[in-house]
A and B are shown apart, each in its own frame.
Chain A
Amino acid sequence: MKPKRRLFRRQKQLNRSAAGNGLLFTLMFFCGIFMALPLVMIANNALKPLDEIFKYPPAIFVKNPTLENFTDLFVLMNDTWVPFSRYIFNTFIITGFGTVGHVLVASLAAYPLAKHDFPGKKIIFHMIVLSMMFSWTVTQIPNYMIISFLHINNTYLALILPAWQFGMGLYLMKQFMEQIPTTLVESSRLDGASEWKTYWTIIMPNVKPAWLTLAIFQFQQMWGNTGSTFLRSEELKPLQFALQQITAGGAKRAGASAAVSFILAAIPITFFLICQSNILETMTTSGMKE
């Protein structure tokens, strides 16, 4: 295997010109500065002392960085009605189950859609793709009615279960699974593996970049949920809600709320980086061949 990879690297270099590399690098550099603005701003705002936050005209970069905002935030956290650890626990449950469950349920359903042939397959798939084009704003009220009807109102399930069936996740997984050579699936069947086993040991490892990407999307989605429609009890609400309550305090909490923005962005970014580095890792190990 090793000598082959070395050969391939040399050939890959053959198809790359220095001028092309230079051009792409410059393009990425200038566009990158523009795209990184929100990252730069959130980090700088979190470090600004109060007088700089209220400065007019506002500046992007911080002059006298301080960690005051974070210590303020910690003081405020201790004042909350429900212990703060409870909010963290809620978020952990909702985001964790919402993400893991969705990746499993959606990819399990995507496998037959991509690799099996059965009656009704086309109709089911078209329905799922079409459903993504209906505006969620008007389905909110029917959704609320259905969740009350199922008696899962004011439980974690009200947020977790609907999150398992987002059409985008299934569609994404199905598209990636289609790329896997059918011969791979057939040879696994010939070796006597059940469909469940084929799904778990052949399909899922080969679409690792896909489900890591899906996990990123889903994590972001679940993390952004304040749960204010379905959760009435304070002790069930997620971190997002608690932190936004702190921000709602207005001008006297501007410092703390800058710190909140930083934390709200930092956690999905950390999750994103972990997943992305794993996606890159697969590049050297994946060997899908016909």
Chain B
Amino acid sequence: MAKNQQDILIEVRRKSSLRKRIVKSKTSYLMMAPYLILFFFFTVLPILVSIILSFTYFNMLEAPTFIGWANYTKLFLEDNIFLIALKNTLLFAIITGPASYLLCLLFAWIINEFHGKLRAFLTLVFYAPSICGQAYLIWNLIFTGDRYGILNGFLMNWGVINEAKIWMKDAKYILPFLIVVQLWLSLGTGFLAFIAGLQTVDRTLYEAAAVDGVKNRWQELWHVTLPAMKPQLMFGAVMQITQSFAIADVSIQLAGNPSVNYAGTTIVTHLLDYGTYRFEMGYASAIASVLFLLMVGTNKLVQRLLRRVGE
């Protein structure tokens, strides 16, 4: 009995101190209010609605009808194309994710070694595929399926192949080529965040490191630069996950949707197929929810790995 009373007392004290803490932090809440109100209306609410829709049949004309887990069981047990999409997406994520993360970091760091106008110019050049919005045009020229295609012409000149190949209509080549293009395109958000991050690293750290016996730029990178920009590394990782799991544009623009033998299908192209062509919003929402869970899991894993940087 006595113990019980004590528990209640602790609980009461905790609650009142919680209330006190909330009152005390009113400036913090006030500062966040404009963002959070908008965030609730334009992000939280739509996401909740579409998670609810994933348990319904909804064709956008009639009112949604509740069908329980049917969308999800159909997704995993009957939809063979979804399984191909899942496999392709995981391949994309496992290969392009870490690779482009490292590329972003590497190029940002090298560019930071240059000075003045040359550095501004290099930043622009490497960010160009992300900013121009015309990138697929070039790759369509390269992969053109006749002998005027740049890749075909090149390989035929060198005698590697005898006749032109229709690259984007051959299931064997689609995925590897899409991965190459994706890597080329991937110096985007993370890249610029890293460049800005390198700017905010405290310069005195380098002086201290030089005194402490850091000998070259590689040691400097691992022992000073990377630990100092850990917040940006985390940000880059999250952006990388959202980008590499959500790959769709590359595939649609270069291989078409659906692609030959579904060789370029990803979860998002599958989602677009159901959401924007077949108008089965319930099913599309279920696909989105599965993708969401996949990303959240990966995110947890990557964050754990990143805590070790610089140790």
Which residues from chain A sit less than 8 Å from chain B, CB to CB?
7-8, 11-12, 14-17, 20-21, 24, 27-28, 31-32, 34-39, 41-42, 56-58, 60, 105-106, 108-109, 111-113, 116-119, 121, 124, 127-135, 137-139, 141-143, 145-146, 150, 161-162, 164-165, 167-168, 170-172, 175-176, 178-179, 195-196, 199, 206-207, 209-210, 212-213, 216-217, 220, 224, 261, 264-265, 268-269, 272-273, 276-277, 279-280, 282-283, 286-289
Contact = CB atoms under 8 A, between A and B. Distances in A.
B257 interface: no
Interface in B178-213: 184, 187, 189, 192-193, 195-197, 199-200, 202-204, 206-207, 210
B129 interface: yes
Contact of B231 (A139, A178, A288): A178
A276 B120 contact: yes
Interface of B: 18, 21-22, 24-25, 27-29, 31-32, 34-36, 38-39, 41-47, 49-50, 53, 60, 107, 110-111, 113-114, 116, 119-120, 122-129, 131-135, 137-138, 141, 144, 148, 153, 184, 187, 189, 192-193, 195-197, 199-200, 202-204, 206-207, 210, 214-217, 220, 228-229, 231-232, 234-235, 238-239, 241-242, 245-246, 268, 271-272, 275-276, 281, 284-285, 287-288, 291-292, 295-296, 299
A261 B138 CA distance: 14
Contact of B292 (A60, A135, A170): A135
B246 A135 contact: yes
Contact of A224 (B133, B214, B217): B133
Given A15-B215, A38-B135, 4 more contacts: A12-B210, A118-B21, A124-B32, A168-B239
A58 B141 contact: yes
A133 B292 contact: yes
26 contacts: A17-B217, A32-B122, A35-B126, A38-B135, A38-B138, A58-B141, A106-B35, A112-B27, A112-B29, A119-B18, A119-B21, A131-B44, A132-B238, A134-B47, A135-B271, A138-B285, A139-B49, A143-B42, A162-B38, A162-B42, A176-B197, A195-B31, A213-B192, A217-B189, A217-B192, A279-B196
Given A161-B42, A179-B231, A57 B148 contact: yes
Given A15-B215, A138-B281, A132 B242 contact: yes
Contact of A128 (B39, B107, B120): B39
Contacts of B144: 57
Contacts of A14: 210
Contacts of A112: 25, 27-29, 31-32
Contact of A133 (B107, B110, B111, B299): B299
A176 B233 CA distance: 11
B196 A213 contact: yes
B31 A109 contact: yes
B63 to A, nearest CB: 13
Given A35-B184, A131-B43, A8 B203 contact: yes
A41 to B, nearest CB: 6
Contact of B138 (A37, A121, A132, A137): A37
A265 B133 contact: yes
Contacts of A172: 193, 235
Given A138-B284, A217-B189, A146 B41 contact: yes
B196 A137 contact: no
A176 B296 CA distance: 23
A38 B31 contact: no
A8 B22 contact: no
A273 B120 contact: yes
By Cβ-Cβ distance, the 7 closest A-B pairs, closest first, are: A57-B148, A118-B25, A109-B35, A175-B231, A142-B46, A112-B28, A139-B46
Contacts of A273: 120, 124
Contacts of A195: 27-28, 31
A121 B18 CA distance: 13
Given A8-B207, A15-B210, A138-B50, A210 B38 contact: no
